[in-house]
Chains A and B, each alone.
Chain A
């Protein structure tokens, strides 16, 4: 097991009870709630600014099966203003800005998330794909639609918390 190497930029709020493993950088203004787990298994995780990571969220940096024996260590970069709601599991290899992962959703390690996407509550997305900007996935059958705007909830939610 590798040593934990956690770097927290001033302005970020990381609860002591959260579970952080591996090489993780946390940007300013990001809030990590207790009992959230961020596991940098395959390589370092860099979390951008003003992200919100709620309770029981699992962000796991796991490599796709076919890429495991490569020399370069990939870095999971999570952009800024992302919201990870309670009990979601995110294994995406790349996450842009302004995304919302709603409660109990699951994003597999073949899904690349761009900007302004919303993964609806309980949706399970594993099929290999790149989610285009402002895509919203919702409902039991994971219907997809394109929004005109990026979700506007994240900043307000954080203001309430601080």
Chain B
């Protein structure tokens, strides 16, 4: 083992998890990312910051990714990307255009020797040493639930809703503008800061009071948030409490965060349901909010009384406590996978990519047929 380890420390491998709001990057054998940076690049033409996920076209995305990866390698990682492997952690629901462009950037522009693509929901379980769990990823753009059973993501049970940081920010913005008439168009980083520092997920018992306008409801103290020295924003107690309610308000299809989880359980085999309910794993930046877990548990219990979920026959939910912060749980899984021989066994090499011109994907029938024929 010692020789192997010394070898691996010489060969630093970058692990990259490009999220819609934040990009986590670090090296294999580390247990925390070196940096968590915003997935933004400065646009050359307008000189404004642009989010990677707001791309217009494949070429536009290509240019932005070239810029982002350049920053990651030469400002933070400080190694040459050429002829080195790289580990990419991505959602199973990542758009094909995005992953193909990323592969193109890495192989053709930065000439990495191989790419190991890992599904974020699966690898998030790695740090728990557990092979079954219901992984709930609440990120910036969307919340995605995928059950993982015995090391296999159950894809037909996936659930996704556009509930995430972006949605919360826009909700907070509308709440704030009603109490602060003078201030319009708060920049998003201020909204984010207000969300992170002032807001929390309240208890479900208080929500009834809040909605019903009952007299016993006493709002939490207001916060005066100084905005750029010249103005201040009044963040009322009600706003602080209400911001995250959007996650649990059922939409027209009666869907919200808690029903997503139950629907996912409903879609898997009966034998696995109990086990999944007892292995809930929450990842993503939004789940780090104060009171998130407690409220989710309450909501799940409440939804169980719903006729739709009575068939589940579940009485208790159990949550895992990750040995890391939730916002880099998937990254950590990638770092653990990348530190093993898995990297040399399963990574897609440059030769393969140049021959096939695409990354293998679960959605691509050609790849599935290939693997089937190979295993046969």
Consider the complex of A and B and state whether they touch directly, i.e. have CB atoms less than 8 Å apart: yes
A13 to chain B, nearest CB (A): 32
Task: Provide the bound-state CA to CA distance between A137 and B227, in Å.
Answer: 12
**Which residues of the partner chain A approach B231 to less than 8 Å between Cβ atoms?**
127
A74 to chain B, nearest CB (A): 24
**Which residues of the partner chain B approach A125 to less than 8 Å between Cβ atoms?**
229-230
Residue B228 at the chain A interface, CB threshold 8 Å: yes
Which of A137, A142, A144 has the largest number of chain B CB atoms within 10 A? A142
Q: How many CB-defined contacts (below 8 Å) exist between A and B?
A: 22
**Which residues of the partner chain A approach B229 to less than 8 Å between Cβ atoms?**
123-127, 137, 141-142
**Which residues of the partner chain B approach A5 to less than 8 Å between Cβ atoms?**
none
**Which residues of the partner chain A approach B230 to less than 8 Å between Cβ atoms?**
124-127, 142
Task: Provide the bound-state CA to CA distance between A126 and B231, in Å.
Answer: 7
**Which residues of the partner chain B approach A4 to less than 8 Å between Cβ atoms?**
none
Residue B323 at the chain A interface, CB threshold 8 Å: no
B144 to chain A, nearest CB (A): 33
The contact string, 1 if C-beta is below 8 Å from chain B, for chain A 124-138, is 111101000000010
**Which residues of the partner chain B approach A129 to less than 8 Å between Cβ atoms?**
226, 232
Which of A124, A126, A137, A141 has the largest number of chain B CB atoms within 10 A? A141
**Which residues of the partner chain A approach B226 to less than 8 Å between Cβ atoms?**
127, 129, 142, 144
Task: Provide the bound-state CA to CA distance between A151 and B231, in Å.
Answer: 26
CB nearest neighbor in A for B230: A126
B46 to chain A, nearest CB (A): 20
Task: Provide the bound-state CA to CA distance between A41 and B229, in Å.
Answer: 25
Task: Provide the bound-state CA to CA distance between A144 and B231, in Å.
Answer: 13
Whether B228 pairs with A142 at a CB distance below 8 angstroms is: yes
CB nearest neighbor in B for A106: B229
Which residues B108-134 have CB closer than 8 A to chain A? none
Task: Provide the bound-state CA to CA distance between A124 and B226, in Å.
Answer: 12
B185 to chain A, nearest CB (A): 16
Task: Provide the bound-state CA to CA distance between A78 and B229, in Å.
Answer: 22
A71 to chain B, nearest CB (A): 31
Task: Provide the bound-state CA to CA distance between A142 and B310, in Å.
Answer: 54
The contact string, 1 if C-beta is below 8 Å from chain A, for chain B 226-241, is 1011111000000000
Task: Provide the bound-state CA to CA distance between A127 and B180, in Å.
Answer: 14
The contact string, 1 if C-beta is below 8 Å from chain B, for chain A 103-119, is 00000000000000000
Task: Provide the bound-state CA to CA distance between A138 and B230, in Å.
Answer: 13
Task: Provide the bound-state CA to CA distance between A25 and B183, in Å.
Answer: 41
Whether A141 pairs with B228 at a CB distance below 8 angstroms is: yes
**Which residues of the partner chain B approach A124 to less than 8 Å between Cβ atoms?**
229-230
**Which residues of the partner chain B approach A137 to less than 8 Å between Cβ atoms?**
229
B30 to chain A, nearest CB (A): 30
Task: Provide the bound-state CA to CA distance between A125 and B230, in Å.
Answer: 5
Task: Provide the bound-state CA to CA distance between A115 and B279, in Å.
Answer: 54
Which residues B199-235 have CB closer than 8 A to chain A? 226, 228-232
CB nearest neighbor in B for A143: B226
**Which residues of the partner chain B approach A123 to less than 8 Å between Cβ atoms?**
229
Q: List chain B positions with a Cβ less than 8 A from chain A.
A: 226, 228-232
Given A137-B229, A142-B228, 13 additional A-B pairs, CB 8 A: A123-B229, A124-B229, A125-B229, A126-B230, A127-B226, A127-B229, A127-B230, A127-B231, A129-B226, A141-B228, A142-B226, A142-B229, A142-B230
Q: List 19 A-B contacts (CB under 8 A).
A: A123-B229, A124-B229, A124-B230, A125-B230, A126-B229, A126-B230, A127-B226, A127-B229, A127-B230, A129-B226, A129-B232, A137-B229, A141-B228, A141-B229, A142-B226, A142-B228, A142-B229, A142-B230, A144-B226
Which 6 pairs, one residue from A and one from B, show the smallest C-beta to C-beta distance? A142-B229, A125-B229, A126-B230, A127-B232, A124-B229, A141-B228
